[in-house]
Amino acid sequence: MSQYRAIRGMVDVLPDETPLWQMLEQTARDVLAAHGYAEIRTPIVESTELFARSIGEVTDIVEKEMYSFPDRNDESLSLRPEGTASTVRAAVQHNLVQSPQRVWYMGPMFRYERPQKGRQRQFHQLGVETFGVAGPEQDAELLLMCRQWWTRLGISDVLILELNTIGSPEARASYKAALTEYLRDHFDSLDEDSQRRLDTNPLRILDSKSTSTQSILDGAPSMADYLDEESKSHHERLCQLLDMAGLAYTINPRLVRGLDYYNKTVFEWTTDQLGAQATVCGGGRYDMMVNQFGGKATPASGFAAGLERLVLLMQTLDLDAASNPDLYIVSSNENAFGQAMLEADRIRAEFPGLGVVQHLGGGSFKSQFKRADKSGAAWAMVFGDEEMVSGKVTLKPLRANEEQMTLSREELDTFLSQLEQLTNEY
Ligand code: HAM
């Protein structure tokens, strides 16, 4: 019989990795709550047009990466490739944009890309979107919040913030025209991908990986010369706020992002630890989208982080989040097992901070201790023939250099409450 396998580019997260994922997610929730952000949950599937209109018809995502299909009523639907469009749709539909909003979401996104390290077809994002604040202080808050998250994860030293401003749509249009004219004169020296993009999405040529294209770009007109005054002062004030907060950044005038909806601020957090898929988080301002989706014109700004890349980064840095049980309970026979089960149940109820695993499936003490050791538990709790007679329990240390102890139930409770306190402090 043939074995089923996961679809290419869609990955199982196995039990030895989930503690790291949970730690990442919990840290994000804590940081977001501490900044007054609330969660929003939108459907995985939306109309294809929603994404095409906002992300842009001639972007890679919409041109070749969406999982689109007709439903039974022949309406074209797509698995969400990102979360911003859905969030704006929901915010307009439910009138959330009447007053300033700060929301976040976490979940799977889908893009039909060529899978490689740090790039999957189903991947996960933590996304944050804010509505109603036009000034750069909103962008600054988002970036400071990112920094708080990186610090709590222990990865802030290996991340660089790249920052740029792409101006108003009008400024961008005139820059686009100038860039296209310049690049047309150098058409034959451009790489194939950039030649194709020249007519569809010339700004994307700016972040081409081809060295020959990059050297042609060295002589290209610069976005900075085409910026409108408002975008310029927005950018200057943002830089000022980041300087004040001691948040280091690199201005990257060629940073344009792969989605068309941005204006003014754009940014990416990148690392040199992950090879080609170096961007762990990206975002910026998208002041036109709410209006484009039928809402009253409302400024907006946000970002999304790729959770797979953050997990990879933490693994590269050997930052682990093992969650081992505190107690592993072994018993000598059926009778002792019954007692042990009741005791485990009581301990879990009275000491909810402790992780208590009971050995199931019988076997010799030797094999049970082997499993206890493998579980990573700190202590084995033994219910043997002696313990059944004396009414006491034996605690055997599995990790720390401690003494074995035989305790009365009262002594046991004192010990467990200390252990619980220690676990919570950790
Ligand atoms: P994005 O740059 O397309 O932006 O994606 C954000 C992050 O998702 C990337 O920096 C990367 O870490 C991760 N990511 C993207 N594609 C993949 C993939 N195929 N495999 C693994 N990770 C991936 C957005 O999606 C915007 N919605 C961000 C935003 C929110 N802008 C404003 N608000």
- Asked if residue 405 is part of any domain, the answer here is yes
Residues 297 and 390 in one domain: no
Question: Which pLDDT score, from 0 to 100, does residue 2 have?
Answer: 83
Residues 295 and 335 in one domain: no
CA 75 to chain centre: 31
| Structure token pair of residue 92 | 């307009």
Residues 73 and 163 in one domain: yes
Residues 278 and 337 in one domain: no
For the entire predicted model, the pTM comes to 0.91
Domain count, the chain: 2
Question: Which pLDDT score, from 0 to 100, does residue 402 have?
Answer: 87
Residues 98 and 235 in one domain: yes
* 270, 293, 316 - which closes a domain: 316
* 316, 344, 362 - which closes a domain: 316
- Asked if residue 368 is part of any domain, the answer here is yes
* Residues having CB within 6 Å of any atom of ligand 1: 82-84, 111, 113, 118-120, 123, 125, 127, 129, 258-259, 279-284, 286, 302-304, 306, 308-309
- Asked if residue 289 is part of any domain, the answer here is yes
Pocket test for ligand 1, best of 160, 255, 259 (most atoms within 8 A of CB): 259
Q: Which domain holds residue 381?
A: 327-425
Could you tell me the CATH number of the domain that includes residue 142? 3.30.930.10
Question: Which pLDDT score, from 0 to 100, does residue 249 have?
Answer: 98
- Asked if residue 13 is part of any domain, the answer here is no
Which residue ranges in the chain fall short of pLDDT 70?
Answer: 426
CA atoms within 13 A on the CB side of 116: 7
Residues 249 and 103 in one domain: yes
Residues 348 and 298 in one domain: no
- Asked if residue 259 is part of any domain, the answer here is yes
The total of other beta-carbon atoms located within 10 Å of residue 141's CB is 19
**CA 83 to ligand 1 center in whole angstroms:** 9
Question: Which pLDDT score, from 0 to 100, does residue 426 have?
Answer: 56
Question: Which pLDDT score, from 0 to 100, does residue 56 have?
Answer: 94
Could you tell me the CATH number of the domain that includes residue 382? 3.40.50.800
Residues 307 and 343 in one domain: no
- Asked if residue 186 is part of any domain, the answer here is no
* Strand residue runs (E) in 80-177: 101-110, 122-131, 160-165
- 8 A C-beta contact, residue 378 and residue 399: yes
Question: Which pLDDT score, from 0 to 100, does residue 219 have?
Answer: 93
Nearest alpha carbon, ligand 1 atom 17: 119
**CA 130 to ligand 1 center in whole angstroms:** 17
* 287, 316, 345 - which closes a domain: 316
| Structure token pair of residue 215 | 């050297």
**CA 210 to ligand 1 center in whole angstroms:** 22
- 8 A C-beta contact, residue 211 and residue 219: no
Nearest alpha carbon, ligand 1 atom 2: 282
Residues 91 and 51 in one domain: yes
Residues 331 and 312 in one domain: no
- Asked if residue 187 is part of any domain, the answer here is no
Residues 137 and 85 in one domain: yes
| Structure token pair of residue 214 | 């990059």
Q: Distance between CA atoms of 145 and 139, rounded to whole angstroms?
A: 10
Residues 152 and 257 in one domain: yes
Residues contacting 34, CB < 8 A, separation 6+:
148
**CA 75 to ligand 1 center in whole angstroms:** 26
- Asked if residue 94 is part of any domain, the answer here is yes
Angle between helices 84-93 and 48-55 (to 10 degrees): 110
